[in-house]
Amino acid sequence: MYIPPLSNIVQAVPRAMVTGHIPLENTKFILNGAGVAGLFGGEEAVASIALVHVFQGRKWFGWYSSPGSYIMGMRFSQLASSAVPSLYRNKGEHIRTDLASLFEYHGRKGPKFRAVHSGTTFQETGHLAALFMKECIDRGATRIKGRETQPISVTIANLGHVPCHHESPTLYKRRAPFYAGVPILVSIGTCAACGWCEDWFSFAVILFGMIVSGMSCLVIGFGTFRFTHPEPAPGSPPGDGILGCDEGVVLLKGKEGAVNAVTRGRFSLLFEHEDARWSVTLIRVCSVALVIQAIAQLILIPQSSSFGQLMFVVSVAVSWLYNLWLWSTDKEKVQRDLLMKVIREPRLIKYILGTRTSMVIFVLLALDMDDPEDVINFLLPPNTRAWQIWKAAVIKRLRSHEKLKFDASDWDDSSLLEGERQMLETLFKDAQDAYEGFEQYREQILPCSKLQ
């Protein structure tokens, strides 16, 4: 007895439930799941484009049939919409785009910053400040002896180099672009196989995908990956300041321009052209082409033979594996490395203090200021009677550059309750522990300290 295949039964049951005339019931046009394969892998494809400016020569190796073209098309549209004119002295008009819309190289909020000389306070800084803070948090630290409640780190960053107002970071020299030869060869091979079998639907879709992907890499690659930061006003005081978050604080020491590079710098993508808006038009054309590629895959691949569909799936699968490998790259670490190259690998020294009080004293000693009152009130807002006595004693010694040594006469105040005296004694001991720890490493932190 003949038993029909299960697939035929599954397809026949729904059709048997439909009565009456069905539009297009005699057409040979079909849709199946093979064309959907090219719609997946959008985030991985975006990652491969995002590294065009990081890996040297990557822009020349995008000629393969990449999946995820619909997501890519949407991201390119966002990139074009973010474009704004940017004028540079003696260089005419350029177009600057927001990398956050495509590459996630901008958009994170950084910690609070306080300039100790000018008193300027930023409630939040930019993406690069957040990256620099993360770089400092990941560094190894020296622990300072003393009481511990909630340890907090202090990183001293000596920013000796002032970057130019705008410059292009050094690109990585790695083999990643040459590994793209694998998906390129597979795409060429599967496209040729489809042409040899005269499966023109699959042939056209794979070929069109190779062209669109390659052109998209070139268009983005011809942009200039640029770092910019505001130029300080002439005669600006030193830019020393405190960058802080819950995990710790970073003491930025250097000229105003060097500190600005961390707190107010940004990465952007600059397109230079006689008619700069032509570059935006090219990005929009790529956006439309990528969406058309996704639609073509969805409609044309089901019309091809089983062999053509297999070739298409093989081409996008190999391309997806390559994109996935690029996507696995630690993009945050890449950005941090680029930033460190821009500011020329500043000397970072990190210490761990046991309490916030000892941290504040350590920071004040590292700043070596003549009048630390504003900074101490910024870092320690509490203003009770006990705190006022403690702050007054500390500020007096710091102003006269005396050693931070304390005894019972400093906390034995009859106007205080017993609990307040005990707390005050603890605070003075924290300050003395921080001072002793600072003295141990003073030559590393502050070779020319004014302390007597």
- Global pTM reads 0.80
Confidence of residue 330 (pLDDT cuts 50, 70, 90): confident
Beta carbons of 269 and 94 less than 8 angstroms apart: no
pLDDT value at position 190? 94
pLDDT digits (tens, 9 = 90+) for 418-427: 888 888 889 9
Confidence of residue 285 (pLDDT cuts 50, 70, 90): very high
| Residue 90 predicted with pLDDT over 50 | no
pLDDT digits (tens, 9 = 90+) for 106-144: 767 889 999 988 888 888 898 899 999 999 988 889 999
pLDDT value at position 384? 83
The whole-number average pLDDT for the span 147-152 is 89
pLDDT digits (tens, 9 = 90+) for 45-89: 887 887 887 777 788 888 999 888 888 888 888 887 776 665 554
Q: 27-31, 192-196, 262-266, 432-436: which range is least confident on average?
A: 27-31
Confidence of residue 182 (pLDDT cuts 50, 70, 90): very high
Calculate the alpha carbon distances from 239 to 21, 102, 132, 235, 349 in Å.
Answer: 79, 32, 16, 11, 18
Calculate the alpha carbon distances from 211 to 184, 219, 271, 286, 333 in Å.
Answer: 11, 12, 22, 10, 31
Distance (Å, whole) CA 127 – CA 106: 5
pLDDT value at position 203? 93
SS (H, E, C) 74-87: HHHHHHHHCCEEEE
Distance (Å, whole) CA 130 – CA 24: 58
The whole-number average pLDDT for the span 179-183 is 89
Burial 300-333 (b: 16+ CB within 10 A, else e): bbbbbeeebbbbbbbbbebbbebbeebbebebee
Beta carbons of 351 and 153 less than 8 angstroms apart: yes
Distance (Å, whole) CA 283 – CA 310: 31
